[in-house]
A and B are shown apart, each in its own frame.
Chain A
Amino acid sequence: MNDFALGWKILLFVVELIIFLVVAFKSATLQGQEEKEFLASAKKKA
């Protein structure tokens, strides 16, 4: 079973995976900070 352009497929998949891990980590860290900040400011207003 020959797989057409297998090398390209592996390369693109690995790039996708790395970008996913980086973006997900950054977003998760930011989300934590933002939620704390948002709740603190809502409490202040109340």
Chain B
Amino acid sequence: MAENKDKVYAVVHSGSRLIPAGIPGIAWNALLAAWIAFGAQTLLKIAVFVLQPIYAEEFGLSAFVVLLFPMLFTFLQAPLSPTLSHRTDRLGGGFSRRHMTIMVSMLYALIASLIAFKSISSTAVMFMILVIVCALLLGPGEPLVCAMAADWFPMEHRGFALGFHHTGYPWGSFLGGLALAYMLSVWGNDNWRFTFLILSLPTLVVAIWFQRTITLKNQRLLIKASADRGFHTSVADERLPSEVQVKEEKLSMGESIKLTLGNPTQLTMVISGFFICGSYWVLAGFLPLYIYYVGKYTAAQTAAYAVFFTLTGGLGQIVWGALSDKVGRKFAFIVIFAWYVVGAFFLKEYALVSLAALIGTQIFLGCATNAPYPIYYAVVYDVADRRIKGLGMAFMDVAFYAGALLLLLTGALIEWGGGKTSPTGYYWVIYMLMIIYALNIFLVLFFSRETKGWFYKKDWAVVSRASSNIPEL
């Protein structure tokens, strides 16, 4: 076990600082590329959500039907994620994730651009078909760039790297919301389609960046530079218990799935991720409708005011991602979930009292809305061996995307509460969110093992470390 303590497991390597210092430039370069890529993906994702009031009016859709758009868009990001991500695991990740990432990124950007042409997206059905095709290609992009962030940054600061990387989502959402508000105010609501083409353009930059940065040559430079500075990289140094007794063999898809879902900690992350991320889609889906129909703001104002929670959403990811390296992943989850329950209560009671209250409640709630996601990925990366790291990330994403099914319940609650102009259904949705977060505190506490931090040895889990692929230190 002495060797394990020195070198083998990620879990024994916790950075001594919250903000990393002395990291090789190539690691930062790759992390920034993955970060911008994630932000660029988000620009398109947020458009489907915040433009709901406009296309609901144009196509004459009810609250339930309009919420089917973000629901299907999100849910259908799942099907191709495991297969395409797992293909990039076969050479141990790293440089081998580049080509797939470029292909899916550029293809979804091109499909999204087609929405801009009115002759192609003139009906609700055609618009939905384009949104669905876009979602199928957009889905694998997320686990690929997340795995890239974890592959290329020293494992000592994995929580920080994934937390920083994941700010691409909320801050991309925020920028996307502001950009949409600006474009709608300049071009008018009737020209909402053009925004999809404009928001797909940053993906071009990312594709060129990946093509130049994520290479085998740079991977070798990274390994050498990291070792020179006393850091460890996942692509060169990490060995988990499930890898120690085996050669560098490839696993079939079936074996990989068995290894992934047979790990109780990983399975708990998947189940919890389904409900928690589903709650995020619920918030992102119902908030524009709530602000537009109940708060009586304009469509452009709604596009801007519905994304304020993402400001602190990004900060929460960096802070909690980095803190989870020190205090532990599970402890971080529990504090975040409890915070959300309080924030959701404030949202229900005060959000529509005034504009300041709308922004203030979102700022408070935002500290907990996005923070869990990098920690889910970090736990999975902590316990999944290198043959299935990409697949592990993809399973998290499948759970996250499948969580969009909660939007069906959201639409139904709004309809049962009196339709999209009545506040009652929206309040029921907020109560649903509070219950989900409260229950997840117990789910994570009892059914997953701590992988780092203060409570590594004093854990309340009912599942064993061995079954979770975590070493006994």
Name A's B-contacting residues (CB within 8 A). Answer: 1, 3-6, 9, 12-13, 16-17, 19-20, 23-24, 26-28, 30-31, 34-35, 37-39, 42
Known: A13-B113, A31-B99, A37-B216. 13 other contacts (CB 8 A): A1-B119, A3-B119, A4-B191, A12-B197, A13-B116, A17-B110, A19-B207, A20-B107, A23-B102, A30-B99, A30-B215, A38-B91, A38-B216
Query: Which residue of B is nearest A29, CB measured?
Result: B99
Contact of B96 among A4, A23, A35 (CB under 8 A): A35
**Cα distance A27–B96 in the bound complex, in angstroms:** 11
Chain B residues with a Cβ closer than 8 Å to the other chain, count: 34
Name B's A-contacting residues (CB within 8 A). Answer: 91, 95-96, 98-99, 102-103, 106-107, 109-110, 113-114, 116-119, 122, 187, 190-191, 194, 197-198, 200-201, 204, 207-208, 210-211, 215-216, 248
| Residue contact A20 to B207, C-beta cutoff 8 Å | yes
| Residue contact A23 to B106, C-beta cutoff 8 Å | yes
Residues of A contacting B107 with CB < 8 Å? 20
Contact of A19 among B117, B191, B204 (CB under 8 A): B204
Residues of B contacting A16 with CB < 8 Å? 106, 109-110, 113, 200-201, 204
Q: Is the interface of B mostly helix, strand, loop or mixed?
A: helix
**Cα distance A24–B75 in the bound complex, in angstroms:** 27
Residues of B contacting A4 with CB < 8 Å? 118, 187, 190-191, 194
Which 9 residue pairs spanning A and B have beta carbons closest together?
Answer: A34-B216, A20-B106, A31-B99, A4-B191, A3-B118, A23-B207, A27-B99, A9-B116, A19-B204
Query: Which residue of A is nearest B200, CB measured?
Result: A16
**Cα distance A13–B117 in the bound complex, in angstroms:** 10
Query: Which residue of A is nearest B217, CB measured?
Result: A34
| Residue contact A12 to B113, C-beta cutoff 8 Å | yes
**Cα distance A38–B117 in the bound complex, in angstroms:** 44
Residues of B contacting A12 with CB < 8 Å? 113, 197-198, 201
